[in-house]
Amino acid sequence: MPLPLIPIFIALAVGGVAGGAVASNWENITYALKGKKIAVLGARAVGKTTLLKYLEKGILIERYKQTLDKQEVERTRIKLGDLDIRLKKTDDVSGDKAAYGVWKKLFEEADLIFYIVRTDMLLRHDSSTEKRAEDDLRQIQGWIKECSTEKQFFIVGNHWDTDPDFKNLTSSQMGDYVDRFRALPVVKKMTQLAGGTATVKIALGSLATERDSDTLITTIFRQVEK
């Protein structure tokens, strides 16, 4: 169910953010996202359609349903805190390996690439999840080498709320949790295939609730570069 190409346009930069460094960061995001296009890729059942539908309508999908055929998504506008985003009409397509051809087209047309993976499955060393992620990134590596324009690549870890270890974490332990994910051999391999630590960004979170979704999406957009 690889997500579609999402052209996004920042409508305005919102003031009133406390702290000069934070405000400056939002200004950079506003500049960086203006006119950028996003491709969201990943295997089935990782949260691609949930992310798209949430961005489109502000709703969460409670029951998983595979995207087998291309589905049209209407133009919409959303606000996440200080971030004002406009989405154009796009398509939600299948996440099967057979859709790699569609993935490539989305990749070539996008400026920002979001690859979504199950955080909980990788942390428990699920072999099928690891293999699929590495296979996907090997495909993407080839597209990166063929591409004449620079892409910003994000590994987005979803479903950390279903990891038993996560539920027992305190706020002071969150950094160690993220470091443990980054240290996984498969994540290091994925990062290497996508261009290395200097260019690949990682964002972890959950799309389980509205608050979690807002946090994850904002975490992603805060890392976008000019």
Dihedral angle computed from the Cα positions of residues 185, 188, 194 and 199, in that order, rounded to the nearest 10 degrees: 170
173 confidence band (pLDDT: 50, 70, 90): confident
Residue 105 C-alpha from the chain's centroid: 18
Which pLDDT does position 159 carry in this prediction? 85
Residue 53 belongs to what H/E stretch? helix 48-57
Distance CA 65, CA 48 (A): 11
For 53-87, write each residue's pLDDT tens digit.
776 665 544 443 444 445 554 545 555 555 555 54
Domain 5-221: top CATH class = alpha beta
> 0.85 cut: is pTM over it?
no
Sign of torsion over alpha carbons 127, 174, 182, 225: positive
5, 98 Cβ separation under 8 angstroms: no
Contacts of 163 (CB under 8 A, 6+ apart): 119, 120, 123, 124
